[in-house]
Amino acid sequence: MRLTNTLIETVISDTAGPDVVPLVMKLKNKKNFSEFKLAETLKQEVNLTRNMLYRLLKYNLVSFIRRKDKRKGWYIYYWTFKLKQVKFVIKKLKEGRLDRLKDRLQRENMENFYSCVHNCMRIAFDNAVEFKYKCPECGELLALEDNSEKIKQIEKNITELEKFLKDLNKK
């Protein structure tokens, strides 16, 4: 799998937030970049830059070294983006999504769902009985929902994710 800028941006956005993407693009091909210079380059406060870097650190997407400034006596942190770690994070994100989809598929196959004509809510059988088959939002009568299309879509998504993960593990 080739790590394109688009793929890197998607991973960063999904993990640390979309506001961190410009920071990563500045940091991507540099090693031991000062957090002060990084903040200056991004034209933002150093505390905001640190916050973004810590969000990346949470996913092990950056590393740092710290050195003491001989003049001021402060510690300055120098950051490096770990490009190789992106593949591992992608794998973890996709595996998590796959697990959630499998759980949802199981729920869709095991339960009957009801909804009103206005699609205010979608509720399971037990809750529909509790509400006497009336929508708690608008009061309309609840009808049994045909979820066969949802099941097909979930199965398709599961197949695609399993193929993606299989291809990812080959490389």
pLDDT of the residue at 74: 85
Q: What percent of the chain has pLDDT over 90?
A: 75
pLDDT > 70: what percent of the chain?
Answer: 99
In order of start, what are the domains of the chain with their CATH numbers?
5-83 (1.10.10.10), 91-170 (no CATH)
pLDDT tens digit sequence for 35-60: 999 999 999 999 999 999 999 999 99
By C-alpha distance, which of 162, 117, 160 is closest to 137?
Answer: 117
Check: CB of residue 67 under 8 Å from CB of residue 75: yes
Question: In sequence order, what DSSP letters do the residues of 32-68 get, joined into one string?
Answer: SEEHHHHHHHHTS-HHHHHHHHHHHHHTT-EEEEEEE
β-pair type (33-34, 62-68): unpaired
SS3 163: helix
| pLDDT at residue 27 in the model | 92
Q: The whole model's pTM is what?
A: 0.73
**Sequence-ordered alpha helix ranges (H) in the chain:** 5-15, 21-27, 35-42, 46-58, 85-110, 125-130, 148-170
Give the pLDDT mean for 3-28.
91
pLDDT for 1: 62
Give per-residue pLDDT as tens, 119-159.
899 999 999 999 999 999 898 999 999 999 999 999 999 99
